[in-house]
Amino acid sequence: MGLNFFDQFSSPSLLGIPLILIAMTFPALLLPSPDNRWITSRLSTLQLWFINLVTKQLMMPLDKKGHKWALILTSLMIFLLLINLLGLLPYTFTPTTQLSMNLALAFPLWLATILTGLRNQPSASLGHLLPEGTPTPLIPALILIETTSLLIRPLALGVRLTANLTAGHLLIQLISTATIALFSTMPAVSLLTLLVLFLLTVLEVAVAMIQAYVFVLLLSLYLQENI
């Protein structure tokens, strides 16, 4: 039984073909498609309003030089948000519970921010490794510490997103299993666990949105340090 709880995190396949690509591309069907009509539907208006709101929030801590990244960061935010929310539906698969995928998203974007800083302002980017006014005997140790903290940033981004979503999915499955198991023997306790399950589901919806926002916000802050 313990191993069955983790079956939901295994990549689904059909005839030996992994279906994770379909799970990753399906959220694109929910995005508005451009058209030539002057008057759009309410759903398209709501989606465009939400995209504009997300873009303003992500670009707020950035200078004008960082606004070139608006399309990438906004697209990543909406992509992660839709995948996290769709993964809460029954009989679905959440690709962002895979550490390999999260690292594949975090590492190239983190590396791009580092290379941007080294190209535009190499002295300031390298200066982050050594705080001003550091005593001479501590310089080697601080450079090593700051370099290590810089290199583990993409790992921290991927692990944070994976751990939060995985823990939430496991809690939902554990409580739902307990609700079904207790229904025949202790109906009152089963109703109580059902209420806990409902509250936990609401919490997981919030966590799914917050984790997508935090992932992209940290990338924007890393970008701000290098522009």
What pLDDT score does 155 carry? 93
Q: What is the pLDDT of residue 46?
A: 82
Is residue 53 a part of any domain in this protein?
A: yes
The domain containing residue 150 runs over which residues?
Answer: 42-225
Residue 123 lies in a domain: yes
* Residue partners of 63: CB distance under 8 A and separation at least 6: 224, 227
CA 140 and chain centroid, separation: 34
pLDDT for residue 8: 64
pLDDT the model gives residue 2: 47
Residue 210 lies in a domain: yes
pLDDT of 7 above 70: no
Question: What pLDDT, on a 0 to 100 scale, did the predictor assign at position 5?
Answer: 64
Residue 176 placed within a domain: yes
Residue 143, C-beta contacts closer than 8 angstroms, at least 6 positions apart: 129, 130
Q: What is the pLDDT of residues 121-135, one digit of tens each?
A: 877 777 777 777 777
Nearest to 97 by CA among 29, 30, 23: 23
Domain assignment present for residue 35? The answer is: no
Report pLDDT for 211. 92
Task: Write down the pLDDT at residue 3.
Answer: 47
Residue 44 exposure: Cα atoms within 13 Å on the Cβ side: 10
Return all residues near 102 (Cβ < 8 A) that are at least 6 apart.
96, 157, 158, 159, 161, 162
State the pLDDT at residue 36. Answer: 67
pTM greater than 0.85 (yes/no): no
Number of domains observed in the structure of the chain: 1
* Structure confidence by residue, pLDDT tens digits, 163-222: 999 888 888 888 888 888 888 888 888 888 889 889 999 999 999 999 999 999 999 988
Q: For 58-99, write each residue's pLDDT tens digit.
A: 888 787 888 888 889 988 988 899 888 888 887 777 888 888
Phi, psi angle pair for 17, to nearest 5°:
-100, 120
Neighbouring CB atoms inside 10 A of 202's CB total 10
Tell whether the model's pLDDT for residue 120 goes beyond 50: yes
- What pLDDT digit, counting tens, does each position of 135-171 carry? 778 778 888 888 888 889 999 999 999 999 988 888 8
Tell me, yes or no, whether 56 lies in a domain: yes
